[in-house]
Structure 1
Amino acid sequence: MRLLARLLHSHYYLKRSSGVCLSRKAVQGLDPYLHLLMPRTNFLNALYTSLSSEILQTAMRTSYSALQTYTQCPQKYKFQEIDRIPAKKSKEAVFGTYVHSALNFMFKQTPLFPTVEETCGHFRINFPASPNDVFETEAIRKAYFDEGVRILKSFYKKNPPWNFSVLGLETRFEVILEDEKNSATHILAGKIDRIDKLSDGTYEIIDYKTAKRLPSQEAVDSDLQLSLYALGVQKKWPHMSSENLKVSLYFLKHQEKLSSLRTPDSGQRVLRNALETISEISTRTAGNKQFEPMPSALCDYCPYKPLCPAWKHLYRKRATNPTDSAPLPIDDITKEYLALKKEDQKNGKRMDELQAKIKEYMEREGVTRVFGDEGYISRSVQTRHSYRFDKIREILEPIGKWKDILDADEKKLRSLMKELPEETRQKLILYGIETREFIALKVRFGFFFSLEPYFISLFHFLSSWTPRKMVCGSIF
């Protein structure tokens, strides 16, 4: 049965990060080969039922960028990979797509490589000729177009295509992940911008970047995505070992290339990190747990911001015109709560009443933050653990470890947990530790967050007439 699961996993998955969806039609695809084993209907029903636990709930096909999105913000991951809510791409992402396309054109037309004018012409043909929903004004559109032409001319001058032996452009790869804990098989997929064979017989993986910020060499050396690319190439072409393969980030705005080498250990490290993240996602999904938002500076670039529980109350306030409608009841509650907090009043009973109303509103409306004129209130889920030492003794005593925490000391137990076999650790977590979650409210004072949507509107308004050199479209 497990062999059949592997076979189906390889040929009948749907390309979704949230998991593998398998239909009866897919199972029936095996029927010409297997129907002789038992009556057709009984076999298919038994196979479909058995495979539900093997594939439907455990297997996942995903990418490193999707897992990175989860680590940055679980809520954005849910919107993007599970709910599959369409999102408008940022200017930077769309701009990068056009530049990448022109660079592929530049190296693909072998042996008669295009001239620099033809390369820029390819970019010009594909780039929008007039403002659209991404490049909203002519000033913004022209600023990005001129930047693209500048990048391509500089790149061509520094990297004439006939000087390189390009083995692959936008090369796709897959890495199989085996989770020994639950025998699940996952697929980590990706796409590499360029693979070169160098004059000394070694190989180079190149990933183009249109970002402005140049990372440190240390950051490049520890970049997990580059480690995954190296692993993917080695799986596809085993002769490209770590000793003769380097990885590079090419920053197009600055024409700077930062290179690094990878060891076999770096590949295993990225696989471990990926498995841990996949396991966490699977646990949340199976347990129907929340994918909590993680507010940060990245929120200003997130297309899901108006939908996000951490921000949608602010956008709802913005949509309410204070001149022709009464304030929402929660606004008065928030205002009073912030005032009491700011004055550090000890009115515990009233604070408890307001907290209860705020929590009830957050639960009902599906928000994690409410905004007032002087600040905002955040909701967070906090966890507390309590130890059932009667159960812990039953687990540790047979392996001679109970005496190590004979005084039933939680600190000693946490230290001991690091030394125990995985099976024993899991037993302790399952039977010996009780986890309780509770909701906590946190206040932050300041005007920035409550005024931020209005500032964004102001910037968009000004961009329609500000001279091109003053446009800062990238900040949106």
Structure 2
Amino acid sequence: MAGKHIKRNLRACREQSSTHCRRNSGTHRYHSPWSALPHKKPEEEKTDKKIWRKQIWLLGGNKVTSYSHSRLGTFQQCRYKYKLQYIDKVKVDVPTTIEAFMGALVHKILEKLYKDLQFQKLNTKEELLNFFENEWEKTWDDNILIVKKDYTKDNYKEMGKKFISDYYDHYKPFNSWRTIGLETEDKLPLDNGNQYHIRIDRLACDSNSTYYVCDYKTNNKLKAQEELDEDRQLAMYSLWVKNNFKDCKTVKLVWYFLAFDKEMVSERSKEQLKQLKIETEQIIKEIESCVEFPTNVTALCDWCVYKQMCPSWKHEYELKEKTPEEFKDDDGVKMVNEYAEIDTKEKKLKARKEELKNQLIVFAEQKGVDAIFGTEKKVSVKPYLKVTIPEDKAGFIELLKEKGVYDEVSMISYPRLNSMILKKQIDPEVIEKTKTEKDYRISLSKKKAKGKNKNVSLGFEQKLWQRQIN
């Protein structure tokens, strides 16, 4: 009976959604199954959503997608990379770097420290360092990549040992907070039916019902407080803590920058978390409605595992395989070289033209003439009055509106309108009146100067050395 009841509810939900689609033929927007629920009080509606989410999952209804901090970050960094990694699921070899290897091992030692403490066993510093040494030797692989050629694996091993030693001396006897979880993984339900992936290095609390989301950092970059106060990852984790621990009064976000033996803390207000959740769900909405996945060339491209197959870099990799003679004969190389030559000449001519324009004005004023003659052409030099608006542009616009002339003199900002339509940030009726066409923007820029990143091998340029945690 229960199964029939669930199926009947789900069928009603789908029918209502499909009816709405038929009324709006031509649209293919996602319609939340929650729209089929009767209107109730907020607390009742929240409970019903949880029940229906489970019903839909059990019956194989709308697919629930899990979004992580790195997944959202990838979309914001480069949509093309997002498409390859999360939609096309292109598999590539990702090397383990010495930084990632050492960092993972340090995390493992700290996990052991707190796990053993839960069983009333306090490891000595020497025991932890010996465990680190043994694990290093057991798990070391000669294929682990060392990018910075000035340093050896022993240098990194000593770094890891120092991180552990400094942390131990700083926080012994480790009884300030009670550990709730280690390497905690879970999913945070979102209002749009999807989930946010939770992964917490260490979760702890104190006697005042203050919870601590702890994150260990082994890199050599110390973040500024302002950057941590804007961090999305741990702040989203705090939402999960508040949902799962009803006694929680406050959540503090704690970063341990082990290379500096420094602890940094941040906190979010209820209003900030509410806004963060809205912004996160807005990013997910943008992802799910995205149909174009352009590349985005930045300094991070050098570390991208997909660089060799990226449209923005593929031709460069093809050229690397060619001999000097083949390189010179490449059609692309020849066209770019000619285009660059013309562009340079054009800029010089434009600058010279501006110089001549100023000289002609001076000549006309000195001679008292408004026409200057050449062999076959003449130049007219006519003065005119040009109006400049006040520096307080906003105030001037308000004045134009008050006087009823703004609509007559204002113009549509096509770049802004174009952006709003493509991002669906404008009324659907406006979007329906427009159409999109493919066009091309050609720009010229310098290639990366030779000699930069000289420690990076060609093979490594094709791989990602930073560890991606999904």
Query: What TM-score, normalized by structure 2, do the two folds share?
Result: 0.64
CA distance in 2, matches of 1:109, 1:238: 27
**SS at 1:153 equivalent:** helix
* Shift >4 Å, 4+ stretches: 1-7, 136-139, 323-326, 403-416, 450-455
SS in 2 for 1:257: strand
C-alpha change, 1:115 and 1:79, in structure 2 (3 Å) is: farther
**Distance in 2 of aligned mates of 1:78 and 1:106:** 40
Q: Given the superposition, is the C-alpha separation of residues 195 and 95 from structure 1 closer, same or farther in structure 2, using an over 3 Å criterion?
A: same
Counterpart residue number, 1:134: 145
1:203-262 deviation line (CA, Å, top 9, x unaligned): 211111122222221221221112101101111212213xx2211111111111111121
**Who is 1:268 aligned against?**
274
Distance 1:161 1:327, change over 3 A: farther
- Indicate the larger mover: 334-343 or 193-202: 193-202
Number of the residue aligned with 2:159: 147
Q: Give unpaired runs (5+ residues) of structure 1.
A: 8-46, 180-184, 348-402, 417-422, 461-472
Q: How much has 1:2 moved relative to structure 2? A: 8.9
| 3-state DSSP of counterpart to 1:212 | coil
Residue 213 of structure 2 corresponds to: 205
The reply on whether 1:104 has 2:104 as its aligned counterpart is no
- 2:336 and 2:425 map into 1 onto residues whose CA distance is 47
Decide whether aligned partners of structure 1 residues 325 and 407 sit closer, same or farther in structure 2, where only a CA change above 3 A counts.
closer
1:204/1:245 contact within 8 Å kept: yes
The answer for the alignment partner of 2:190 in structure 1 is 177
Percentage identity across aligned positions?
26
| C-alpha deviation, 1:193, in angstroms | 0.8
Give the whole-Å Cα distance in 2 for the aligned partners of 1:4 and 1:161.
Answer: 54
Unaligned runs of 5+ in 2: 1-6, 14-54, 350-403, 418-423
Structure 2 residue aligned with 1:158: 170
User: In the alignment, is residue 73 of structure 1 matched against residue 78 of structure 2?
Assistant: yes
Aligned equivalents of 1:86, 1:239: Cα separation in 2: 45
Q: Please give the secondary structure, in 1, of the residue aligned with 2:220.
A: coil
Q: Which residue of 1 aligns with 2:456?
A: 456
* Partners of 1:105 and 1:424 in 2: CA distance: 49
- Amino acid in structure 2 at the alignment position of 1:245: V
Report what 1:443 is aligned to.
444
Q: Would the alpha carbon gap of residues 122 and 209 (structure 1) be closer, same or farther in structure 2, given more than 3 Å must change?
A: same
Q: Establish whether residue 318 from structure 1 lines up as the match of residue 326 from structure 2.
A: no
Which amino acid is 2:134 matched to? I
Residue in 2 that maps onto 1:376: none
Partner of 1:328: 330
Deviations 1:351-383 (A, max 9, x none): xxxxxxxxxxxxxxxxxxxxxxxxxxxxxxxxx
CA-CA distance at 1:328 after TM superposition: 2.1
1:79–1:98 distance in 2 versus 1, CA, 3 Å: farther
Q: CA deviation at 1:67?
A: 0.4
SS in 2 for 1:277: helix
In the other structure, the counterpart of 1:168 is 181
What letter corresponds to residue 287 of structure 2 in structure 1? I
Partner residue of 2:377? none
Aligned match of 1:387: none
Secondary structure, counterpart of 2:340 in structure 1:
helix
AA aligned opposite 2:430 = I
Q: Within the alignment, does 1:62 sit opposite 2:67 as a pair?
A: yes
Q: What does residue 431 of structure 1 align with?
A: 432
Equivalent in the alignment of 2:126: 117
Letter in 2 for 1:68: G
Name the SS of the counterpart of 2:329 in structure 1. coil
Paired residue total: 346
- What TM-score do the two structures reach when normalised by structure 1? 0.63
Counterpart in 2 of 1:86? 92
Given that 1:175 and 1:187 are in contact with CA atoms closer than 8 Å, whether structure 2 keeps it comes out as: yes
Mapping of 1:347-358 within 5 angstroms?
none
Counterpart code for 2:72: L
Structure having the higher Rg: 2
Q: What residue in structure 1 maps to residue 356 of structure 2? A: none
Q: Which has the higher strand share?
A: 1
| Pairs within 5 Å for 1:343-382 | 343-344=345-346
CA contact (8 A) 2:319 2:327 kept: no
Aligned counterpart in structure 2 of residue 239 of structure 1, from 235, 247, 250 = 247
What is the CA deviation profile of residues 168-194 of structure 1, one whole-angstrom value per residue up to 9, with x for unaligned ones? 111123221223xxxxx1111111111
Task: Please give the alpha-carbon distance, in whole angstroms, between the structure 2 residues aligned to 1:258 and 1:455.
Answer: 33
The answer as to whether partners of 1:107 and 1:161 remain within 8 angstroms in 2 is no
Larger displacement relative to structure 2 (129-138 or 69-78): 129-138
Partner of 2:339: 337
Structure 1 residue 436: deviation in Å? 3.8
> How far apart in 1 are the matches of 2:151 and 2:228?
35
Maintained 8 Å contact 2:235/2:273: yes
CA contact (8 A) 2:252 2:267 kept: yes
Query: Structure 1 counterpart of 2:220, which letter?
Result: K
Distance 1:178 1:414 in 2: 33
Alpha-carbon distance in 2 for matches of 1:64, 1:82 = 17
The equivalent residue for 2:399 is none
Matched-pair contact (CA < 8 Å) for 2:78–2:294: yes
Alignment partner, residue 238 of structure 2? 230
Find the aligned partners of 1:6 and 1:451 in 2 and give their Cα distance. Answer: 65
Give a deviation string over 1:116-170, Cα, whole Å, max 9, x none: 1222233223334453242488953222211111111111111225424211111
Structure 1 segment 44-63 matched on structure 2, within 5 A: 55-56=62-63, 59-63=64-68
